[in-house]
Amino acid sequence: QALLVTSLTHADAEVVFDHSLRWANLTPDDVAVRAAFQAVPRAGGEPVAGLPAEFPVLVFSREGKTWLALTNATRLAAQLNLRVSQPVAAGTDVISGEAVPIAVNQVAVELQPWSLRLVCLEGESDVSVDRGEIRFAEESVRLMADQVAELRRRQAVLDAPPALPVLDNPGFDLPSLDEGITGWELVETPGGRLELVEAPRPQTEDDTVNRAARLSSSGELATARSNPFEPPATGRASIAVWLRIPAEAAQPPLRVALEGRKDGEEYYRFAPVGAATGGRPLTEGWTQFVLQVTDLPPDQTESLRLRFDMLGPGVVEVDEVQVFDLVFADSQRAELRALIDQMEHSLASGAMASLPAALEGYWPRFLAETVTEQQVETAAKRTARRAARRTAAAAKTAEKTDGFFDRMRNWWR
């Protein structure tokens, strides 16, 4: 039923082929939609202008009778109110035989979700439709409002996305096993070395003891590789890592990379660093680098690994490695905020005809499928803490200002 109705929003079709009917167990609603489609006049109908694409209406007129083919290609029930050019004596649903409410020059037709109705209007002459208006039941409006509010909650997660707990030892804080580093392995060359070193923390200036990983090579390729982990369901990953080089060390030929398998072939994406071609230079201070990947292997049975490839002689120190799956560009997040702003405006203004389709779009589906309730709750708590800090700061500023003016008044006295 939904597939047939949706296809009618794209073309004024006379014939639709649906091979699934060979095995389908049709419901009464399915039968009604197909009966209405078969009864639609085959002569080309005139579309009613100004209606959303999800609610197309075609008008067929001949010999004092007018047929209206009305479609609802959404999952919400709606009422379609049509203003006709001249009085209508009666309106009847061609399939069910039910009378359609008529008031002066207004025709009101109830449309169930994913439905098609064929209505016959009888009058003294052919009837044309001047305009149409969509109205949703209060229950449908509440449902859409709840969905928009939920979108806003999930959108907050993208403003400060949480790191995925997929690495066994992202900060190199776990005790070492034998001569290696827990959660990481050195591969590719006997000239490579992977060890723990004491280093200041990348994002704080305290004096607490911190350990980082140092990867070095005296010759050819040396690779430090993480534990395997499952590809994020979002199909994208952002690898954020803090890097630096020891004092007076040369720029290393380094790659921050992600490896796996895709379609039976080796999968490898990287960002050049240092002396690698196109690389951004390293310094003695910590600098954060980000590898953004948007075409991850879709097969969840194939694991990924993060790797640091030293392509030649060089040394680099690594700390605070993080993997994200919900990092988007500022322009993309602005696009999402604008979309939700428009949805909220549609609810406030009552112009909701296009809202059901918008709620079925890419961003709503993506957020529903990928953002978890735990992430939403964490983002809400973080937002509340920020708001509390801003309120406290504003109150403190106001207190200082009041104190200043009090002193000025006392001085003038």
Domain containing residue 218: CATH number: 2.60.120.260
Q: What pLDDT score was predicted for residue 403?
A: 58
Mean pLDDT confidence for 245-250? 92
Task: Residue 43: give its domain's CATH number.
Answer: 2.60.40.1180
**Single residue among 286, 307, 324 that ends a domain in this structure:** 324
How many angstroms separate the CA atoms of 385 and 79, rounded? 44
Q: How many domains does the chain have?
A: 2
Among 213, 407, 234, 230, residue whose Cα is nearest residue 320: 213
Please say which residue of 324, 358, 391 terminates a domain: 324
One domain for residues 249 and 320? yes
Residues 204 and 280 in one domain: yes
Q: Residues, the chain, total?
A: 413
Mean per-residue pLDDT of the chain: 86
| Paired residues of 193 in beta bridges | 216
Q: Are 111 and 198 in a shared domain?
A: no
**Domain-embedded: residue 28:** yes
Among 153, 158, 160, 114, smallest CA distance to 344 is for 153
Contact indicator for 116, 70 with CB cutoff of 8 Å: yes
Question: 193 and 319 share a domain?
Answer: yes
**Are 131 and 195 in a shared domain?**
no
Residues 190 and 317 in one domain: yes
Q: Is the pLDDT of residue 227 over 90?
A: yes
Please give the average per-residue pLDDT across 212-229, as a whole number.
Answer: 93
**Lookup result for tokens 């001085």:** 411
Predicted pLDDT at 90: 81
26 part of a folded domain: yes
The tens digit of pLDDT for each residue in 55-109 reads 988 888 876 678 888 889 888 899 999 988 877 778 888 888 888 888 878 889 9
29: pLDDT strictly greater than 60: yes
The pLDDT of residue 412 is 45
200 shares its domain with 317: yes
Instruction: Classify residue 397: in a domain, yes or no.
Output: no
260 belongs to a structural domain: yes
Domain boundary among 136, 151, 171: 136
Q: Give per-residue pLDDT as tens, 335-379.
A: 999 999 999 999 999 889 889 989 999 999 999 999 999 989 888
Separation of alpha carbons 71 and 36, rounded Å: 10
Domain of residue 265 covers 184-324
Judgement on whether residues 199 and 285 belong to the same structural domain of the protein = yes
Whether residue 341 is contained in a domain is answered as no
Q: Which two tokens stand for residue 256?
A: 């921050």
pLDDT of residue 131: 86
Instruction: Answer yes or no: is 80 within a domain.
Output: yes
For residues 193 and 124, membership in a common domain is answered with: no
The H-assigned helical ranges of 136-248 are: 138-159
Q: Does one domain contain both 83 and 209?
A: no
Query: Could you tell me if residue 24 is inside a domain?
Result: yes
Q: CA 244 to CA 209: how far, in whole Å?
A: 17
Asked whether residue 174 is assigned to any structural domain, the reply reads no
Beta strand 115-122 with 65-72 is: antiparallel
